[in-house]
Amino acid sequence: MTVPYSDHGDIVRTIGEDAEIDRNASALGDIAEMARTLRGTRRSVDDTLTALVRSATQLMPGVDHACVTVMTGARRTIHARTDDVAADLCRVQFELGEGPTENEIWQIDTVVAENLGSERRWPSFAAAARDRGIESMAAFRLYTDPSARDLGVLLLFSRTADTFDADAQMVGSALAAHGAVALLSARDDQNFRDGLASRDIIGQAKGILMERFDVDAVQAFTMLAHISQSENRPLREVALSLIEESHPTRSVEVPPVA
């Protein structure tokens, strides 16, 4: 049965399509509600991403396993997974050097394998995934920094072929967007804390120079910058060396237990 889509032309929409649109709208609404809930609570990035992958299996029909992995250079880190199967499927890609995380996802936002039984891009990984009962999968890029070889990916796995149609990809992309916010916010927060720590260290070093040479703060910073430039060392490293020289860390021997 069909209902008119427009009074003009012959475009029609089926009742089934209406239901699909309603399901997608509901899923996107649930994702937005999840995001609001997570923002309203203090959670670690891993807790946030764990909630994200669990939501994928709850909101997306046919999705059985999910994980979020981050690649920085040669290092691979699984930040969240629904279960050991998801983690294993991530590790297999790393070990084989095959799969979306090792290839296409660096160039495009979404990679889909509709049927791993006929997948030719990654034959070894496809066979390994099918050995674990997986018939289709999708990878959604969270963010990328090619200059640093830094990449985050949401991976979804299904025990059924042809799970990731255009509508499923839309929902997956929405989930990936929230995952990107969580990861990038955590990274920015860490950079902010590192920046505060560096400023504190540089401030201590400036204080030492001001006391030692009877100079003001600007002159002390100029001295540090000159040493950094002449020795080709980071300013923070120069400051740490000065602090250690002025206040060396003393090791304490622990007496043996009688």
Q: Are residues 128 and 205 in the same domain?
A: no
Predicted confidence band of residue 72 (pLDDT cuts 50, 70, 90) = confident
Please check whether residues 152 and 234 belong to one and the same domain. no
State whether 111 and 198 are in the same domain.
no
Least confident of 113-117, 125-129, 169-173: 169-173
Assigned domain for 215 exists = yes
Q: How many domains does the chain have?
A: 2
State pLDDT tens for residues 206-230: 888 888 888 888 888 888 888 888 8
Residue 252 belongs to a domain? no
Q: Tell whether 85 and 27 lie within a shared domain.
A: yes
Range of the domain at 237: 192-246
Flag whether 5 is in a domain: no
Both 174 and 63 in one domain: the answer is yes
132-169 confidence digits (pLDDT tens): 999 999 999 987 776 657 788 999 999 999 999 988 88
More confident residue, 49 or 199: 49
Q: Quick one: pLDDT at residue 17? A: 45
In this prediction, residue 50 carries a pLDDT of 87
- Whether 156 and 67 have beta carbons less than 8 Å apart is answered as no
Both 64 and 137 in a single domain? Answer: yes
The pLDDT value recorded for residue 112 is 96
pLDDT at 148: 57
pLDDT at 13: 41
Do 222 and 234 belong to one domain?
yes
What Cα–Cα distance (Å) separates residue 127 from each residue in 111, 120, 131, 181? 18, 10, 6, 33
Residue 3's alpha-carbon distances to 8, 19, 22, 25, 43, in angstroms, are: 13, 13, 15, 19, 46
Q: Do 229 and 139 reside in the same domain of the chain?
A: no
Residue 68 in domain: yes
Mean pLDDT on 47-71: 89
What CATH number is associated with residue 212? 1.10.10.10
Residue 116 pLDDT > 90, yes or no? Answer: yes
CA–CA distance, 71 with 77 (Å, rounded to integer) = 6
- Tell whether 98 is covered by a domain: yes
In this structure, the answer to whether residues 132 and 172 fall within a common structural domain is yes
| Residues 156 and 31 grouped into a single domain | yes
What pLDDT score does 85 carry? 96
Residue 256 within a domain: no
**Residue 114 falls inside a structural domain:** yes
3-state helix, strand, coil in the chain (%, to 5): 60, 15, 25
**Measured in whole angstroms, how far is the alpha carbon of residue 248 from the centre of its chain?**
39
140 with 241, same domain: the answer is no
Domain co-membership, 107 together with 85: yes
